[in-house]
Structures are given as structure tokens and as C-alpha cells.
Amino acid sequence: MDCQNCGAGLNQNDKFCHQCGQNIFESKRPFRLVISEFIGTVFGVDSRLWMTLKNIFVPARIVSEYMEGKRQRYLPPIRIFILSLILFLAVIFSTFDDTETFDGKEKYVRGHLEEQYDSIASNYEILTDSLCNQEFKEELFGNNKLDSTFNIDFFQTNLNEYKITNRDVYSLSGDSIISKYQISGIWDKFILKQYLKVTKHPKSVMKYGLINLFWALLIVILLVSLVMKILYLKQNRFLVEHFNFQLVMHGTAFLGMVLLVIINRIFDLPGISVFILNIMIGVFYLYSVKNYYKQGWGKTTLKSIITGISYFFALILVSLLVLIFSLAFF
């Protein structure tokens, strides 16, 4: 018997070609066998996914068995982290509107309408300076005076000296503003353009920052893993063990937050419920750490506090770096 793909000689009991790796089967088969193979492919090859989901809230078991060499049972920790993060970001992005909150167009239109309102009011001798009229205008148009100066207080720049108006901020591009107000200096030009992007498109900036969350969290997880390596030095664990444990814990946390968001959307949970759930998450983390590292509650709690503090400072530091990066290259 020869391979139908490459022609290599095969033994009677071979299931795969040793030359090209093709699966050995008869091309002309009953349709029921095709359906059976399809179902087996979907639920067989991805059996690791179902096993992982089944034990996702027992992260200590997943990491322990994975590190013991039982790697065909579960998805790799890095894949658990990535998939759960993608799902989490998808849920978060679904809460964003397609339009921007700032909306320069909206503010420009509101300010323009206010000017037209004042023009009509003066033509018909309406008391435009009356308190009632001013309150009505603020309720209707907001505070969007187009000819007032737009305040730019960003990284201690001197852009306010140019007295850029709201009208130009709302209606002109960054290059047009630079040209109109003759703004000089590379730094001032750069800050102005980035500030306008952040002001006009805050949700896009937020999405860009959240996308960079992947790299930020990996750095934070690595730093925290180094701390845990020191805290559990006597256990002679490799750094990759702590790293994998943190990856799976983060994956579990992301999936937990996804469930929390969904439940909150359905039942509109009160604030006290969210507070209680946060406490439960903390207890769950302690239990998972204790279950994986096999130490008493006292040591587990103390080391978890140290780890938490380290995580907090690492997250702040890395988040600031990501924020600066996002603002600089958005």
C-alpha cells in the first residue's frame, strides 16, 4: 500500500504517512463517516479547551498537572491567558459606543447653534442676559463658547499662550492650528497634536491602551513571578512555575470578570454585591495559592500580601509606561 499523497510505501497498520504525515484513509467514504470525523475533529482536538474550562476555577490543578508533564490535558498557560484576555477585552469594548464621547463635531454644532440662538434672540429683542435665559442656554447648549480660549494644560507646555479658541479646536486639524497660530517648537507641536487626539477621540485612546494591556500585564506577571521566586525559594521551584501559575490565575480572573459583567448587565447588581464579590475573589486567590504551594494559611496570607503589594507597584509603574507610550504613539 502506498501513500495517496507522496507515493511512499506504507505498512498495513499505518495511520499516518511517515514521509509526508498525511492521514491514511479512503477518500471515497460514506457521508456518515465524514460527519463522524468532523465531530471528532471539533470535540476531539479541542478537548483540551473543554478540560481547561472545566477546571479553570481550579488553577492550582491545571498548573500542577501541566508542570508534571500532563500537557495534552490542558491548554498551555500562555494560551489560557491570551484567550481569556481577548474575551475580556471583547466584553469591555462591547460597552463602548461607536461614537466618541468628546465629539468635537457635537461641541462645535452646539456652540454654533448657541451663536445662532443669540443672533435670533437679539433680532427679536429677547432678554439674552436674563438669568432664566442663561440657565436655559446652558441646559440646551452646554458651555461651548466657540470664541473662548481652549485650555491646554499638558506636560507643562506653553500652548495656552497662543490662546487657541474652541472654534478652531473643534473645527480644524492639528496642522491647521499649528499653521494658523504659528506654533513653533517640535515639542509644542507634538503635544498639541497628541492632546487634540486625546480630547477628540478618548475612547480610541482607551482602546489603544487596552490593547497594549497584553504586554503590560506580561511584564507585571514576570516581575511578580520574580518576587514569588524569592518568597518560595526553599521550594526550589523554577521561575516558569510561578510564571505559569500567575498566567492561569490571570486567565481565571479575566473569565471571572467577564461573568461578573454579564451577571451585572442581567441583574444590575447593587454596589454591596460587587464589594462582596471582590472579597470572594481575594479569598479565592488565597485558597488557590495555598492549594498550589502547599503552605499554611499564615504563610500563604503573608506572602500573598507581599505579592499583592509588589503587584500593585509593578502595575502602576508599567501602566504609566503604557500610558506614556499610548499617548506618544497613538
Convert the pLDDT of each residue in 68-79 to its tens digit. 888 888 889 999
Cα–Cα dist 228/289, whole Å: 11
Q: Which residues pair with 66 in a beta bridge?
A: none
CA distance 100 to 203: 6
Grid coordinates of 214: 497584553
CA gyration radius for the chain?
Answer: 30
Chain mean pLDDT for the chain = 75
295 confidence band (pLDDT: 50, 70, 90): very high
Q: What number is the average pLDDT over the span 179-206?
A: 74
For residue 133, pLDDT beyond 60: no
190: pLDDT confidence band, cut at 50, 70 and 90? confident
The runs of H, that is alpha helices, within the chain are 31-40, 47-54, 59-67, 77-94, 104-123, 131-141, 166-171, 174-180, 186-200, 202-211, 213-231, 239-267, 271-293, 297-329
- Cβ partners under 8 Å of residue 238, min gap 6: none
Strand partners of residue 149: 165
Q: What's the rounded Cα separation, in Å, for the pair 49 and 36? A: 20
User: In this structure, what are the phi and psi dihedrals at residue 196, rounded to the nearest 5 degrees?
Assistant: -65, -40
Q: Write down the pLDDT at residue 99.
A: 45
pLDDT of residue 177: 82
pLDDT at 299: 94
- Residue whose entry in the numeric block shows the C-alpha cell 495534552: 72
Residue 61: is its pLDDT beyond 70? yes
pLDDT at 100: 45
Distance (Å, whole) CA 103 – CA 166: 13
> Which residues, other chains included, contact 120 with Cβ-Cβ below 8 Å and sequence gap of 6+?
126
> Tens of pLDDT along 101-117?
444 455 555 555 555 55
Distance (Å, rounded) from C-alpha 63 to C-alpha 288? Answer: 11
Q: Percentage of the chain surpassing pLDDT 70?
A: 64
User: From CA 212, how far away is CA 327, in angstroms rounded?
Assistant: 12
Mean pLDDT of 133-137: 53
Report d(CA 144, CA 108) in Å as an integer: 8
Determine the pLDDT at residue 248: 95
